[in-house]
Structures are given as C-alpha cells and as structure tokens.
Chains A and B, each alone.
Chain A
Amino acid sequence: QQKVQQSPESLTVSEGAMASLNCTFSDRSSDNFRWYRQHSGKGLEVLVSIFSDGEKEEGSFTAHLNRASLHVFLHIREPQPSDSALYLCAVSYQGGRALIFGTGTTVSVSP
C-alpha cells in the first residue's frame, strides 16, 4: 500500500526566509499529489496540486515533483507568521479513489 512520510517533523523559519518541506511516497505510479495546510483547530485547505514531474506554483507556494526519486517538495516563498501551521502532503492511492496523508510538518514562522 502507498506509504507517505514527511520531513522534517517541525521547522522554524524567520519571516521572509524560504521554507522547504519534503514528502516521500512509495508508489511510483501515483499521479496525483497535493499539499494541504491546517491552522491549529481548523480544517484543511488545499495549497497546490501537482500531477506531473516538475514544478507547480500557486501564490507563494511551489510544489516540485520527482517521481523517479519518490519525492514531492513544497517551498514556501517569503513566509509570514500567518503561515505558521501544519503542512500535510497527500498522495492518491487505491486506484485514485482516495488520498493518503503524511503525518505533517509543523512550520513556525518567527517575526
């Protein structure tokens, strides 16, 4: 079964510095990857979706997919304190009928 792992578990960055998050998956045939953000006590909001190798940018968020190495990265450009949250990687599985989530990276942005 598809396995999804995220690193690091937590990350502290200064306001304005680039933040980079890593997600590894086990099934190279997956073609559907998404990054979600969850503020404390809230639901999940989708940040960026990517379906083929390369980069996809949505506002200050860039996803980078490399299926050969089984990695999908999220880069946060010039993060603000309001970007402090749990970031979750999600990958399709079960024939594409559902998403499996990693355990997340907690990002803290200090002013």
Chain B
Amino acid sequence: DMKVTQMPRYLIKRMGENVLLECGQDMSHETMYWYRQDPGLGLQLIYISYDVDSNSEGDIPKGYRVSRKKREHFSLILDSAKTNQTSVYFCASSPGQGADTLYFGAGTRLSVL
C-alpha cells in the first residue's frame, strides 16, 4: 500500500522552541517536498529534495531547514519557531525528478503560541 506518513499529526509549541516534523514514504520515490497550507494562500512550496542530501529551496524557505539522510525519510526543522509559522504542513513525494503526480501525507497541524 503506497503511503506518505507524517508525524505528528498535531503539534503545539511555544514561540522560540525548536520544531521537528517528520515524513516517511514507502514507495522509494526520488523526490520529496514540504508545503504549507494557509487560508487564502493555498499551498506554498518550502523545500524540495531530489534525493539523499540533495535539497533545494522552494518559494518560502526562510525560517525552515530540511534533512534527508535516507531516501524514504524527509524532515522539516523550524529553529526557534515563530507565531507566523502556525500552519498545516504537508509532505509529498513523487517518483521522478520532475513534477510527476505528487502523493501527499495527511498533514501536520502546527500551532505556535
């Protein structure tokens, strides 16, 4: 069963705390993505990873960093979280390196107080 799994599903943090969002996929997909979804703004691309240790900034990378040490696992890190990083974060994967069909996880709802 092809799956993208995100952990945790819900997270509440205080401003200034560090945040780690995890994403895993069992399809051996090369490319993985992190998006955030906000009302009125749609989904915005934060980072793309083309393979292990091959990461590229998306449209809104400021305040975020990523780590991909294994092909099936892609992490999003917020060092010293800010209130404007409250959002729903989606991880996605795709088989190739282009904009193939993206397979999405169920999302992580992050609240930064």
Contact = CB atoms under 8 A, between A and B. Distances in A.
Interface of A: 4, 32, 34, 36, 41-46, 49, 88, 90, 92-93, 96-104
The interface size bin for chain B is: 20 to 34
B106 interface: yes
A98 B101 contact: no
A92 B99 contact: yes
Contacts, number: 53
A102 B56 CA distance: 22
A30 B41 CA distance: 21
Interface of B: 4, 33, 35, 40-43, 45, 48, 56, 58, 90, 92, 97-99, 101-107
The secondary-structure label for the interface of chain A is strand
B99 A32 contact: yes
B41 A44 contact: no
Contacts of B48: 97-98
Given A46-B101, A46-B102, A88-B43, A98 B58 contact: yes
A5 to B, nearest CB: 10
